[in-house]
Amino acid sequence: MKIAVFGAGLAGLSAAEELARHGHEVVVLEREPSVGGLASTVKRDGFKYDLGPHRFHTTSDEILNFVRSLPDVKFSELNRVSRIRLLDRYFDYPLALSNVLTTMPIHMGLGMMLSFLGEKIRGVFAPREQKSFEGWVLSRFGRGLYELYLAPYNRKLWGIEPSTLSADWASQRITVPSLAGLIRETVFPSKETVRSLVSTFHYPDGGIGNISLALASRITEMGGSILVSTEPTGIQRTDTGWGINLKNGHLECEKIVNTIPVNDYTKLLGSILPGEVHEAASSLKFRALVFLTVLLNGEIEPSDHWIYTSEDRYLFNRLSIPRNFDKDAPSQVVFEYSCQVGDRIWNMTTDELFESSVPGAEHLGLFTADMVKGVDVKRISHAYPIYDLGYAEKTAVVLDALENLSGSVTCGRQGLFRYNNMDHSIEMGKYAALEIMGKASVKNHFNWDGSTWADG
Ligand SMILES: Cc1cc2nc3c(=O)[nH]c(=O)nc-3n(C[C@H](O)[C@H](O)[C@H](O)COP(=O)(O)OP(=O)(O)OC[C@H]3O[C@@H](n4cnc5c(N)ncnc54)[C@H](O)[C@@H]3O)c2cc1C
């Protein structure tokens, strides 16, 4: 079979690798000039950084062994070091009750516990709705922790009010289920490690992008093609499968594996899909990220891999220090700015972004302006699927239609509009390939629900 794979992130590359290994002809179409998608490492002009800190961990031995078996992927095992900067203090991340109570001013700690008790009493008489992030978090943590950290951080990350954000995000991302859970975990630490609390992770020497580069080498060694800087502009049905128009040519194939954003894929399919699918797909929105990397003379003091910054005094929502998890990285700090394509942050110039970061960096004791050797900016349009209220119903309409589209399998973070990890994308790619070969199905293999945990 000849199969076109849309997107050369981990999902697309894993699908192509599996198909090529089974003797099929694969052509991967990637819009960017290089492979890797979100799990790429930028290397230019003395800079070397990932698109946000990426730690590899998985519960699947099969996926771990597969990645380990890739040429040139040499994993180091590291212990996570990450904190939250708040009230001019550092709090452990993930949150630990003893650390919260001993770090925050005593009156705030008392207020937090009282608001939690108040919430428990309220829950008996007037339980909060559980559909929104706000209701879910308030009922489990109380207003104190919500107003102090969880609401401001999520407002900044998502750009929408927590009352309009789905509770699915909270259940996927918040590391302990409630303040009561936090207390229990402090007094009686459990032997079983919740995945989100996993503190060790793997990191490939040379940068997270080395996993994709190794997959790409394997594909080309087996005869597959990867066309970078190549974008499909339309898709038609043909007698034998599909015709794909490209910006610079045309391609015929029997089947398609899609991993590009689901709403872009439905647009390419045009009248092959009914109007209600296009309507649902066009309402699915992604959050963008801008990365500003500052290259420095001299060492950076904190040993954190990354630090969350929820307060308004910092325009960035997180920063990472690559050298603390990649020994070959130069001295640099990577700032992440969460935004929408076309908004004020997205349109800021390099100078504007840099000027906005310096006071925060100085305040945090990271560097002073005279240490700066250079700056680099990278923008990515599709970083996070936005789980607003109603996203689940809209996603189901689109994914059901794509599920029934013969000769095409959709998977990956962008393809399924799913907040997931690297290992999930790799596994999904493999199962998409098996589905194309009639041996398995992505949907049956992945039993996703709102509580499937993800990292970034
Ligand atoms: C800031 C951040 C931190 C993260 N941290 C972690 C972590 O610590 N651990 C972890 O496991 N996961 C982490 N993740 C998640 C992880 O990066 C993703 O789940 C994974 O890389 C997604 O792979 P994918 O192939 O599904 O999607 P993508 O990587 O998004 O790949 C899609 C590909 O399609 C291409 N494309 C898009 N449109 C077109 C088009 N029209 N035509 C052709 N090509 C197109 C894109 O350029 C891209 O290469 C993090 C994500 C972010 C954003």
**CA–CA dist 27, 20 (Å, integer):** 10
In the block, residue with structure tokens 């910054």:
309
Which two structure tokens, joined as six digits, stand for 303?
A: 């040993």
| DSSP string of 120-183, one letter each residue | HHHHHHSPPPSSBHHHHHHHHHHHHHIIIIIHHHHHHHHSS-GGGBBHHHHHHH-SSS-HHHHH
Among 54, 56, 386, 410, which is best to mutate for testing ligand 1, by the most ligand atoms less than 8 A from CB?
A: 54
Nearest-atom index, ligand 1, CA of 382: 30
Taking only the tens place, the pLDDT of each residue in 213-232 is 999 999 999 999 999 999 99
The amino acid that residue 104 corresponds to is: M
Query: Nearest Cα to 205, choosing from 39, 328, 50?
Result: 328
Residue 8 CA: nearest ligand 1 atom is 49
The secondary structure of residue 23, as a DSSP letter, is: T
Atom from ligand 1 closest to the CA of residue 268 = 41
Q: Which residue has the higher pLDDT, 291 or 444?
A: 291
Q: Is the pLDDT assigned to residue 453 strictly greater than 90?
A: no
Tokens 């794979």, located at residue: 5
Q: Nearest-CA neighbor of 40 among 248, 334, 366, 309?
A: 334
Q: How far is the CA of 104 from the centre of ligand 1 (A)?
A: 36
Atom index in ligand 1 nearest the CA of residue 10 equals 25
Ligand 1 centroid distance, CA of 382 (Å): 8
Looking at the DSSP bridge assignments, the partners of residue 250 are 245
Residue in 216, 208, 252, 226 with CA at minimum distance from that of residue 17: 216
Cα atoms found within 13 Å of the Cα of residue 8, Cβ hemisphere only: 30
- Out of 38, 316, 339, mutate this one to test ligand 1's pocket (max ligand atoms within 8 Å of CB): namely 38
pTM more than 0.85:
yes
Provide, rounded to the nearest whole percent, the portion of the chain with pLDDT above 70: 94
| Terminal-to-terminal C-alpha distance of the chain | 35
Structure tokens at 149: 């950290």
CB-count burial class (<10 Å; 0-12, 13-18, 19+) for 58: buried
d(CA 189, CA 185): 4
The CB-side HSE value for 229 (13 A sphere, CA atoms) comes to: 2
In this prediction, residue 33 carries a pLDDT of 97
Using DSSP's 3-state secondary structure scheme, residue 314 falls into coil
- In terms of Cα–Cα distance, which of 277, 255, 257 is closest to 267? 277
Cα distances (Å, whole numbers) of residue 125 to 64, 115, 116, 346: 48, 16, 15, 45
For the Cβ of 422 lying below 6 angstroms from any atom of ligand 1, the answer is yes
Q: Whose C-alpha lies nearest to ligand 1, atom 26?
A: 412
pLDDT for residue 20 is more than 70: yes
Tokens describing residue 424: 């999930």
Ligand 1 atom nearest to 415, measured from its CA: 26
Residue of minimum CA distance from atom 34 in ligand 1: 7
Residues 6+ apart with CB under 8 A from 456: 52, 53, 54, 421
* Dist. CA 456–CA 453, nearest whole Å: 10
Q: What is the distance in A from the centroid of ligand 1 to the CA of 150?
A: 25
Span 43-93, pLDDT tens digits: 999 999 999 999 999 989 999 999 999 988 999 999 989 999 999 999 998
pLDDT tens digits along 322-354: 999 998 999 999 999 999 999 999 999 999 999
For residue 420, the ligand 1 atom closest to its alpha carbon is: 19
Residue 393 CA from chain centroid, whole number: 21
Q: Two tokens at 433? A: 């390939």
Q: How far is the CA of 9 from the centre of ligand 1 (A)?
A: 6
Task: Supply the pLDDT for residue 392.
Answer: 94
- Strands 232-237 and 75-79, by their bridges, are unpaired
The answer, yes or no, to whether any atom of ligand 1 lies below 6 A from the CB of 268, is no
| Cα 163 to the center of its chain, rounded Å | 22
At residue 260, the pLDDT reads: 98
**Do residues 428 and 412 make contact, with C-beta atoms less than 8 angstroms apart?**
yes
Number of residues in the chain: 456
Read off the amino acid at residue 298.
G
The three-state secondary structure class of 349 is coil
Domains of the chain by start residue, with CATH: 2-36+59-76+205-284+388-445 (3.50.50.60), 82-193 (no CATH), 286-385 (3.90.660.20)
Cis upstream peptide for 94 (omega within 30°):
yes
Regarding the beta carbon of 6 and ligand 1, being less than 6 Å apart is answered yes
Cβ–Cβ < 8 Å for 244, 251: yes
CA dist., res. 117 & res. 364, Å (int): 34
Would the CB of 383 count as within 6 Å of ligand 1? yes
Rounded to whole angstroms, the Cα distance separating 146 from 165 reads 14
Indicate whether 196 pLDDT > 60.
no
Worst-scoring range by mean pLDDT, 13-17, 33-37, 355-359, 450-454?
Answer: 450-454
Report d(CA 434, CA 55) in Å as an integer: 27
As a whole number of angstroms, the distance between CA 357 and CA 348 comes to 12
Q: Is the distance from the beta carbon of residue 427 to the nearest atom of ligand 1 less than 6 Å?
A: no
pLDDT in tens, 84-134: 999 999 999 888 888 888 999 999 999 999 999 999 999 999 999 999 999
